[in-house]
Amino acid sequence: MTGASEKRPETRRGIPLALILWVAAAAAIIIGLTWATASGMLTWSMAVDAREAAETFVARYAVLAYAGYVALFVAMALALFPAQLWIIVFGAILFGFWPAFIVSWFAAVLSAAAVFLAARGALAGRYRARAGRYLARVEEGFRRDQLSWMLAMRFIPVVPYFISNVAPAFLGARLPPFLIAAIIGVIPYVAAYTFAGDRAAAVLDRNTAPDVGSLAAELFPIMLAIGALPLLAMAVRRWGKRR
* 94 and 65 Cβ atoms separated by less than 8 Å: yes
176 found inside a domain: yes
Give the predicted TM-score (pTM) of the model. 0.75
8 found inside a domain: no
203 found inside a domain: yes
Q: Looking at residue 7, what is its pLDDT? A: 42
* 147 and 180 Cβ atoms separated by less than 8 Å: yes
Closest CA to 95 of 182, 213, 190, 235: 190
> Residue 49 sits in which domain range?
16-242
pLDDT above 50 for 11: no
Q: Looking at residue 1, what is its pLDDT? A: 42
Q: Looking at residue 101, what is its pLDDT? A: 96
Q: Looking at residue 202, what is its pLDDT? A: 78
Integer Cα distance of 175 and 181 in angstroms: 10
1 found inside a domain: no
Q: Looking at residue 34, what is its pLDDT? A: 72
Residue-wise pLDDT for 110-168, tens only, equals 999 999 999 999 899 999 988 888 888 788 778 888 888 888 888 776 677 888 899 99
Closest CA to 107 of 193, 201, 10, 39: 193
Residue-wise pLDDT for 12-47, tens only, equals 445 555 556 666 766 777 677 677 777 777 776 777
**Count of domains observed in the chain:** 1
Residue-wise pLDDT for 84-114, tens only, equals 888 998 999 999 999 999 999 999 999 999 9
Task: Give 9's pLDDT tier (boundaries 50, 70, 90).
Answer: very low
pLDDT above 60 for 182: yes
